[in-house]
Chains A and B, each alone.
Chain A
């Protein structure tokens, strides 16, 4: 018992010492960046350069509506500059993994890809061409015939492709909106999907984080 108390005391003393040691050396705001001698000409040049860079950055921002997908909170936004045109509850990738049959180390990882993409295709009444993982997940054999992969009526009325087989599409499982449950695609309810289809064009940027 005495040993435990002594160990706890030592631990606490160590913690206090560490905190004090850090406090004495931190924060280092005064030594963060080198001091600059104020000079009106330098200041004016800096102000001019700053304004010029700001304008250049402003020009890089999309001038047309763009799509933002927040995979952590499962929301899809359509924005124009800073104005939010649509805030939709979505479902994004589950992050789960599935072993590829017959491959020692092969796996599917069901993440929604992150980064910047563009709308590459806009489809009306899309049909789902079930990929291999959909059969493996259900414990079924992978069909040889293409027609055996086709499943209509599960993706909603519209689908917007953004590359590598990923789509923004509808869902039958609207109760799961707001959760990470998909195999990488982005699901929306019917009304929001219709708005996205109407507002987005082929080439519209999609920023996913």
Chain B
């Protein structure tokens, strides 16, 4: 039986090493995923399976990737736009394992053209879009987007004040009726004001959202 050469052993070593990357993001692994972590791989596979269904139809969809801290807008598997998430918090995320459809997009005040008025009405632009808003989905899921304190302290305070008011109302309701609000999956994203406005602009009624959740800590 012939002895294997050192070169042969080295080639085999490199081939095997290349075939088993621990963390990958290439054509075979489009998401940044630890391929030795079954939980991470299972989540990435779930996202990919859902995305495959969405990409097979002519539509834009959004992937909120909590692992890479990025929001990606895609169509046909092609990346159309992305922006980073500064911070996030969430609850009941174990229930967020499906495709969510947006119920209504954030409101925007449209200006009305007065016929033959002479001066053109200013168009709506990104600046008209809200910087903090909550999107409601079907099945039940809520996504709240707001700017960070360092980005816009005034808007952050206003957002926190509103959040505090909602929390106070729920607490009072629980105290009065003995029943709290039904638990539901929720996600809060802290992004820059520009990115919040960009997302508010981009989303449309019925748009599909996927949430890539982090794996459990070892």
Contact = CB atoms under 8 A, between A and B. Distances in A.
Interface of B: 27-30, 33, 35-36, 38-39, 41-45, 48-49, 51-52, 55-56, 58-60, 66, 73, 75-81, 88-94, 97, 108, 110-113, 115-116, 120-121, 123-126, 160-161, 163-164, 167-168, 198, 201-202, 204, 213-217
A114 B207 CA distance: 11
B89 A30 contact: no
User: Interface size for chain A: under 10, 10 to 19, 20 to 34, or 35 or more residues?
Assistant: 35 or more
A32 B215 contact: yes
A179 B215 contact: no
SS class, residues of chain B in contact with chain A? mixed
A43 B60 contact: no
A31 B126 contact: no
A19 B80 CA distance: 35
Nearest to B202: A209
Contact of B123 (A15, A25, A28, A95): A95
A95 B163 CA distance: 30
Contacts of A139: 115-116
A209 B56 CA distance: 17
14 contacts: A14-B168, A18-B164, A18-B167, A22-B89, A28-B92, A32-B93, A33-B43, A50-B41, A53-B45, A54-B27, A60-B56, A95-B108, A209-B60, A209-B81
A56 interface: yes
A56 B213 CA distance: 22
Contacts of B115: 98, 136-139
A53 B60 CA distance: 19
B123 A116 contact: no
B51 to A, nearest CB: 6
A106 interface: no
Contacts of A82: 79
Given A32-B214, A53-B52, A57-B30, A138 B116 contact: yes
A100 B202 CA distance: 27
B217 A57 contact: no
Contact of B45 (A29, A46, A94, A114): A46
A26 B91 contact: yes
Contacts of B41: 43, 46-47, 50
A207 interface: yes
Nearest to A62: B76
B77 A14 contact: no
